[in-house]
Amino acid sequence: MTDKRKVRKAVFPVAGLGTRFLPATKSVPKEMLTVVDKPIIQYVVDEALEAGIEHFVFVTGRNKHVIEDYFDIHFELQQTLRERSKKAEMTILAEQLPKAGTVSFTRQQEPLGLGHAVWCAREIVGNEPFALLLPDMIMRGEPGCMRGMIDLYAQSGGNIIAVEECAPDQAHKYGIVGVGETVGDGFRITSMVEKPARGTAPSNFFINGRYILQPEIFSILEDQERGAGNEIQLTDAMLKLLKSQDFAGYVFRGETYDCGAKDGFILANVAFALERDDIRPHVEAQFKALVQGLK
């Protein structure tokens, strides 16, 4: 029977070194770089919250303490804001703080790949389905990507992978899925390949970094050998699970900003700034002038 148990927990692999953003990421984790005035990780946690996730599991690494601090109370700051009657700022902090006991941290001690990072969360997740959100990607959509996936999961159960279409010459950068018959609002996934060689991708639907997975993935990851890039790949383990469980593809139709890359990060900043009533009137004309000046 296809497993449809409630998805309560979400895993966020945040152990990456962020080498594409050096020197900034020498001392600041890439997940803490700001898009307008919130760190990237906050957007991703908000997406999970909107989807009804109750427990947040961070797989961290060395030099990531500030992520733990960020999700904790800052007594001194709160005290100072209170003394100065900074009510709006106090509300921002109160809204951002997760409920006590709903956040867990574990460490990936070695950078062995995404599959290994997910496996590091096995004891905290336990024997239940879970969401996985790669924090490089910020998604903007109504509903949010994970919300839409949870809705599809309610129909189909099993495992869900969010996908989007890419230009064929970009497929070698991603995990790519093979497309089968329609399932609810999605489609059955027939195959998967991580970073296919040019011209060999089974489709142009790439895995965008959002997953709902059944816990059987952990025992497969336990023995998973290294794959593309000499890393333990989640996609390879999912391909093995596909032999015994169903995977559905959820086509996300909102916007995705790959904040692991400089262009995506800059675009996210511009897009979210233009959505804000307190910022848009001050920057819109300058943005236009900057772009026109380039012509």
Q: What residue ranges bind ligand G1P (CB under 6 A)?
A: 114, 134, 136-137, 174-175, 194, 206-209, 234-235
The nearest distance, CB 137 to ligand G1P, in angstroms, is 6
- Residue pair 152/248 in contact (Cβ under 8 Å)? The answer is yes
> Which residue lies nearer to ligand G1P by CB, 156 or 235?
235
DSSP lists the bridge partners of residue 160 as: 212, 248
Nearer to ligand G1P, 45 or 134 (CB): 134
Residue nearest to ligand G1P (CB): 175
Burial of 247 (0-12, 13-18, 19+ CB in 10 A): buried
Q: What type of residue sits at position 59?
A: V
Q: Is the peptide bond before 143 cis (omega within 30 degrees of 0)?
A: yes
Shortest gap between Cβ of 217 and ligand G1P (angstroms)? 14
| Closer to ligand G1P by Cβ: residue 96 or 204 | 204
In the complex, least distance from residue 234 CB atom to ligand G1P, rounded to whole angstroms: 6
CB 254 within 8 A of CB 148: no
Q: Give whichever of 15 and 273 is closer to ligand G1P, judged by the CB atom.
A: 15
Question: Measured from the CB of residue 209, what is the shortest distance to ligand G1P in angstroms?
Answer: 4
We find the least distance from the C-beta atom of residue 134 to ligand G1P, in angstroms, to be 5
The residue behind tokens 């991580």 is 194
**Shortest reach from residue 175's CB to ligand G1P, in Å:** 2
Measured from the CB atom, is 81 or 137 closer to ligand G1P? 137
Q: How far apart are CA 133 and CA 149, in angstroms?
A: 12
In three-state secondary structure terms, 251 is: strand
Using the minimum distance from each CB to ligand G1P, give the nearer residue, 173 or 280.
Answer: 173
CB 136 → ligand G1P: shortest distance, Å? 6
| H helix intervals, 51-161 | 65-70, 75-83, 87-96, 114-119, 122-125, 145-156
Residue 10 or 81: which CB sits closer to ligand G1P?
Answer: 10
First to last CA, the chain: 59
Dihedrals phi, psi of 210, to nearest 5 degrees = -130, 130
Q: What is the DSSP letter of 33?
A: S
CB nearer to ligand G1P: give 41 or 137.
Answer: 137
In the complex, the smallest distance separating the C-beta of residue 289 from ligand G1P, rounded to whole angstroms, is: 33
Vertex 5 angle, CA 4 and 10, to 5°: 110
DSSP code per residue over 154-212: HHH-SEEEEEEE--GGGGGGSEEEEEEEEETTEEEEEEEEESPPTT--S-SEEEEEEEE
